[in-house]
Amino acid sequence: MTEIYDYIIVGGGTAGCVLANRLTASGKHRVALIEAGGDGQSHWVNVPAGFSKLLTNPRHNWRLISEPEEATMNRQIAIPKGKGLGGSTLINGMIYVRGQPQDFDGWAQRGCTGWGFDDVLPYFKKVEDYDEASGDLRARGGPLPLTKVQERPEIGRAFINAAKAAGHPENDDYNGASQDGFGYYQVNQKNGRRVSAAAAYLDPIRKRPNLAVLTGAQASRILLDGARAVGVELRQGGTIRQIHSKAEVILAAGAFHSPQLLELSGIGDPEVLRTAGVEVTHAAPGVGANYIDHYCTRMNWRVTQPVTLNEMTRGLSLVKSVLQYALTRKGILTYGTGLVHGFMRTRPDIEGPDVQLFFLHASYANAAERTLDKAPGMTIGVTQLRPESRGTVHIAAPGIDLAPVICPNFLSTPEDRRAMVDGMKLTREVVSQSPMDPFRGAELSPGEACQTDADWLQFARDNGQTIYHASGTCRMGADDASVVDPSLKVRGVTGLRVVDASIMPTIVSGNTQAAVFMIAEKGADLILSDAR
């Protein structure tokens, strides 16, 4: 029997959970949500500090990897991507950053009508339930609980004070009127537990009779009738079958898998498709191009007092922390990937911060695995907020089992290299201030021998990693090279949209999950408006 839905959503991650909620709310539309992973349930998902246990777990992580590239010393860089209902909100650091208003105004100036900051602000507010909300820019009552990190050790306050001593402001709400400055990160947690997109948007509505959630179901191609998308072919439990849509197929599979599925369906750059052995059904040269990500270096210092997570997560201290968390939902197990934020300008003539810092009183040798050092230490991640470098994500052969070929092209422009170098130098300057004297030990990485710009750049090339903010590979725009138009419809194909991070024309100035929630809320409104 033919399975027919009004809407088929491919991908049960952040955007997919939002869309499933909003498109089924009226009861008028029958919706299928397809997720290649499982239900996303795990003890480690709920415990914020458990993210480190999930970064290498193939049950919850696609474990993608980049191609070796000369600019990053021919290293293959690990690229975690969440797998299961909730997507990357199952395994990320829970840091919630909207970005700067000019990010979205820039989208509008590029021809993405309706995506300026004033247009998207209502959707950011629709998402959030921020427990310190005040004024016109923040909101309570949305599906996603937000709070500042609850544990605030003395070393974190010392770092904020050191930033102030170096001339940077303290900022109580970087999602408010201004992003500049230092303070405590906001996270999607409630009562000391992670709140994923699935927990916020999907779990409360799973019993709606007009919603079918298909897990372990991997879409292998979009079904086309001429230039119209009419359904999806998927594999579930070893069986290949087809489901059909009366209204739309909506790709919400993320910046790697949405372009991959388009290309496997013959929608993409004809040269790429022919090289991969896929028949061209619709020429769309922009598919898989414009890959943007945040590149991050991690500077480490030894700490002179036993006040860091390195020693708190061992032996009797860990036992006490586990008991504390079990009884109170407080303590070190509530930490994600950042304690204190820093948003800095590396030049006085730019409109907003161009570097972001992530301070945590913990240190590790490998960012992809995050096995903590035994001696006390601290880490500051340094990332450029608005990289100019652009990479690609393409298939190399037919078949959904083959991971896409990911070429980030990090550090390929002079501005990207300059901003990274200047950001690291400013970070060292902050740590050198007197408020850090009681805690600051030897600089381990890159170390005091790193002095010249050439030294700093080489450190970035040797050690930098992605911070998992992939975007841009199905770029939204008004020009012929864009993949989707401002209503998120795939150009030249009816009945097909993309609603996820891949539509970003440029990356937002900060962690991307907040923008993806917003994109999905706005995307749902666009879809429902057309339905009406």
Comparing CA positions, the residue from 360, 437, 353, 421 lying closest to residue 162 is 437
Euclidean distance between CA atoms 505 and 471, whole angstroms: 8
Q: Which of 168, 282, 341, 469 does the annotation list as catalytic?
A: 469
Residue 1 scores a pLDDT above 70: no
**0.75 exceeded by the pTM?**
yes
Let me know whether 211 and 170 are in one domain. no
Which residue in 128, 177, 145 sits closest to 517, CA to CA? 128
The last residue of a domain, from among 421, 445, 463: 463
pLDDT digits 0-9 by tens, 209-240? 999 999 999 999 999 999 999 999 999 998 99
Tell whether 389 is covered by a domain.
Answer: no
Report which of 37, 29, 75 is spatially closest to residue 57, judged by C-alpha positions.
37
Do residues 73 and 130 both lie within one domain? yes
Report DSSP letters for 168-199, one per residue: PPB-S-TTTT---EEEEPEESEETTEE--HII
167: three-class secondary structure by DSSP: coil
Indicate if 277 and 311 belong to the same structural domain: no
Helices (runs of H) and strands (runs of E) counted in the chain: 14, 25
Model confidence at 367: pLDDT above 90:
no
- Tens of pLDDT along 7-55? 999 999 999 999 999 999 999 999 999 999 999 988 889 999 988 888 8
| Domain C-terminal end among 448, 463, 478 | 463
Given 463, 489, 507, the domain boundary residue is: 463
Q: Are residues 447 and 365 in the same domain?
A: yes
Known active-site residue 244: no
168/62 same-domain check: no
In the predicted structure, residue 277 carries a pLDDT above the cut 70: yes
Q: Are strands 496-498 and 239-251 parallel, antiparallel or unpaired?
A: parallel
- Token reading at 164: 């102030």
Residue 370, classified by CB atoms within 10 Å of its CB into exposed (0-12), middle (13-18) or buried (19+), is middle
Q: How many domains does one find in the chain?
A: 2
Average pLDDT over residues 424-444: 98
Task: Judge whether residue 192 has pLDDT over 70.
Answer: yes
Q: What are phi and psi of 49, to 5 degrees?
A: -70, -10
Domain harbouring 27, CATH code: 3.50.50.60
pLDDT tens profile 466-483: 999 999 999 999 999 999
Task: Indicate which CATH number applies to the domain containing 178.
Answer: 3.30.410.40
Task: Give the pLDDT band of residue 368 (cuts 50, 70, 90).
Answer: low
Mean pLDDT of the chain: 96
Q: State percent of the chain over pLDDT 90.
A: 92
Q: Could you tell me the two tokens for 316?
A: 């009797």
Strand partners, 184: 340
pLDDT at 2: 79
Tell me the residue range of the domain where 20 lies: 1-147+189-292+394-402+470-532
Position 364 pLDDT exceeds 90: no
Region 491-518: mean pLDDT is: 98
DSSP code string of 66-123: PPP-GGGTTPPPEE--B-STTGGGGTS--B-----HHHHHHHHHTT-TT-SHHHHHHH
pLDDT tens readout for residues 378-416? 999 999 999 999 999 999 999 999 999 999 999 999 999
Residue 106 Cα to chain centre, angstroms: 20
Residues 269 and 380 in one domain: no
